[in-house]
Amino acid sequence: MSTPNRRPPPSLTPWLFLAPAILFFSVYVIYPVIQSVMISFLDWDGLGEKTWVGFENYRDLLDDPSFYTSLKNNVIWLLLYLAAVPAGLAVALFLNQSVFGIRLYKSLFFFPFVISNVVVGLIFSWFYAPNLGLLPNILDWLFGTPIAVLAEEDLVTYGIIAAGLWPQIAYCMILYLTGLNSINSELIEAGRLDNAKGFSMLWYVVLPQLRPATFIAVVVTVIGALRSFDLIAIMTSGGPYGSSRVLSYFMFEQSLSEYGTAMGYGAAIAVVLFAIMLVFISLFIVRMLAQERNA
Partner 1 sequence: MRKHLSLTGLTVAASLLSTPVFAEELIINLPRSTEQSIEATENLIAAFKEAHPGIEVTWNNFDDETYKASFRNFLAANPPDVVAWFAGNRMRPFVEAGLFEPIDDLWAKAGFNEQFSAAESSMTIDGNIYGVPYQQAPWAVFFNRDVYERAGASEPANFDEFVENCEKFAAIEVDCLTTGTVDLWPGAGIFDLINLRTHGFDFHMQLAAGEIEWTDPRVRETFENWGRIAPYITADNAAIDWDGAAALLAQGKAANYVIGAFAVKTLLNGGMTEDSLGMMSFPTINADVPRAEEAPMDSYHIPVGAPNPDNARLFLEFVGTPDQQTAYNATTIRMPVNNQATPVDDKYLNIGFEMLSTAEGLSQFFDRDADADMAKAAMEGFQEFMARPERMDDILERLEATRQRIYK
Residues in contact with partner 1 by CB under 8 A are 45-48, 60, 65, 128-131, 148-151, 153, 236-237, 239-242, 253, 256-262
Measured from the Cβ of residue 206, the count of other Cβ atoms closer than 10 Å reads 19
Q: Where are the alpha helices (DSSP H) in 227-262?
A: 230-235, 247-255
In the complex, least distance from residue 277 CB atom to partner 1, rounded to whole angstroms: 25
In the complex, least distance from residue 251 CB atom to partner 1, rounded to whole angstroms: 14
DSSP state of 149: G
Where on the phi/psi map is residue 50: left (φ > 0), alpha (ψ -120 to 50), or beta? beta
In the complex, least distance from residue 271 CB atom to partner 1, rounded to whole angstroms: 20
Q: Please, which residue, 155 or 216, has the CB nearer to partner 1? A: 155
**CB contact burial 2-17 (16+ within 10 A = b; e otherwise):** eeeeeeeeeeeeeeee
Q: Please, which residue, 146 or 191, has the CB nearer to partner 1? A: 146
Q: Please, which residue, 124 or 176, has the CB nearer to partner 1? A: 124
Distance CA 210, CA 178 (A): 9
Distance CA 145, CA 124 (A): 19
In the complex, least distance from residue 192 CB atom to partner 1, rounded to whole angstroms: 53
In the complex, least distance from residue 37 CB atom to partner 1, rounded to whole angstroms: 22
In the complex, least distance from residue 154 CB atom to partner 1, rounded to whole angstroms: 11
End-to-end CA distance of the chain: 45
Q: What is the DSSP string of 14-79?
A: HHHHHHHHHHHHIIIIIHHHHHHHHHTTEE--SSS--EE-TTHHHHHHHT-HHHHHHHHHHHHHHH
Q: Please, which residue, 44 or 81, has the CB nearer to partner 1? A: 44
Task: Check: CB of residue 121 under 8 Å from CB of residue 231.
Answer: yes
Q: Please, which residue, 46 or 224, has the CB nearer to partner 1? A: 46
In the complex, least distance from residue 49 CB atom to partner 1, rounded to whole angstroms: 9
Q: Please, which residue, 256 or 290, has the CB nearer to partner 1? A: 256
